[in-house]
Each structure stands twice: as structure tokens, then as C-alpha cells.
Amino acid sequence: MIKSILIVINLQILLFSSQQIVLVVSDDFSSSKAYLECYEDNKKVFDTMEVNLGKNGLGWGLGEVLLEQKKSQPIKKEGDKKAPAGVFKLVSIFGYEKMFNYNLPYIHAENNIICVDDVHSKYYNQIMPMPIKQPDSFEFMKRDDAQYELGIVVAHNKHAEKTKGSCIFMHVYKSKNEPTAGCTAMRLEDIKKIASWLDENKNPLLIQIPISSKNEILKLYPELKNSPLLQTNK
């Protein structure tokens, strides 16, 4: 009994210790469009932003909290072109510039820095310098376009469970109506605002859900009770 009580207390500490929340809400699991709000200490910061999700919408990912998942709802898998739904820590920032003064750890996306999406590699779901033996599948963090000019690393599948999905970021969109391969993308101006605001001492979280999960999120995170995105009757 004591152990169960401690587990509940620890869970509550985890759930409510976040002072910064990035909230992304879509109409349903198949939508590749969503809206984003940022909250700190119960207050909304910035205007609501429009974002692009995966080409095939959302699928339940591996994050900090196990939300209710119906059998009919999709589960995030490697290569499914779905962005992960759930609650995830935001752990670092990356970009093309050599140095930036952010309040999250910064990764300089040099030419040799990759993210590994090879499910058979021991480096699966890691951002790292290119190893001597190249993985069979990876992506360069320094791209030929501006999509990774600035981005935020989402701690999805942080234990690197094989086939559960890798290399999940918030980053610059290719174009206004272009979906992603599984990330959350937006205007450069918007990602700059968010990156400059995030602070590792405030335990920043990404809560990314279809609107059907709003009631569960409101119970876990009552500080979001005034969110316009969670007021819909859907």
C-alpha cells in the first residue's frame, strides 16, 4: 500500500512540476494540421500558432505519461509518417548556427552530425557524429534546405525501443501546407519564439493530442483549463 501511494505521489510530482507547456491540438488522428499554444505558470504566452504534423496525422507515441489509448487508434511506428501523440519532454535545441544562448542544451548541426533511424543500429534514435561504420539509415542534421535551421528535440521513445519511432523534432516547415514525415513543423519566426522561451529549469513539455483526449489532459494539467484549443465540444 505504501509503495502504491509513493508511486501516485511521484506521478503527481511529474505531472504538475512542468512550468512550461507547448500544447498542440489537432481535430483527429488523421489530420496533418494542428494549432499550438504555449503556457507558463498557467498563463498563455505568444499568439496561437498553426503547425503541420505528419503526412498521416498522429499515432500514440512513447512519452512521459500513458494516456488512454483505444484499440481503434493508431500507434506510432518507424516510417509511418505520423507525428507522436502524448506528453513528451523537450530536451534540447539544434540549429545551423555555431552558437546560441538558449536555456536548453544546444546542438550545432555540423555536416557530420546525424540522427539514426536504422532500427537495427545500436545508435537508433540518437543524434551523434557519424560513426566509423555508417548506419544503414540516418538523416543529416545539416540539410540543404532551411527545415533544420532551428529545431527542438522531442524526447519521444527515449529508451530507443526498436521500430517505435525516431528523430522526432519541432522544426521549420517546408511550406505552409506541407506535412512532415513525423515531426511538428511551423514558421521560422514561430520556432524562434519558442526556442528562445524554453528553459530546462522549467521542465518544458510538449503535449500533442487529438481533441478527443482533451478531458484527460485537463484532468492531468488543470493549468490548461483556459486554453481555447481545449474548449471545443468535439
For the chain, which residues make up each domain, given as ranges? 2-226
How far apart (Å, rounded) are the C-alpha atoms in residues 226 and 195?
23
- Find the helix or strand (DSSP H, E) in which 16 lies: helix 2-16
CA distances for 32 relative to 62, 72, 147, 197, 217, angstroms: 19, 18, 17, 25, 21
pLDDT of residue 204: 98
pLDDT of residue 234: 54
What CATH code is assigned to 2-226?
A: 2.40.440.10
pLDDT of residue 100: 82
**CA 95, 75, 80, 49: dihedral to nearest 10 degrees?**
-40
Cell of 9: 505521489
In DSSP notation, 151-216 reads EEEE-SSTT--TTS----EEEE-SSTT--BSSSEEE-HHHHHHHHHH-BGGG--EEEEEEGGGHHH
Answer yes or no: are the C-beta atoms of 219 and 37 closer than 8 Å: no
How far apart (Å, rounded) are the C-alpha atoms in residues 153 and 42?
24
pLDDT tens-place values along the chain, 234 residues long:
444 333 444 444 444 456 999 999 999 999 999 999 999 998 999 999 999 999 999 999 999 999 999 999 999 999 999 999 999 999 999 999 998 899 999 999 999 999 999 999 999 999 999 999 999 999 999 999 999 999 999 999 999 999 999 999 999 999 999 999 999 999 999 999 999 999 999 999 999 999 999 999 999 999 999 999 998 665
Rounded to two decimals, the pTM is: 0.92
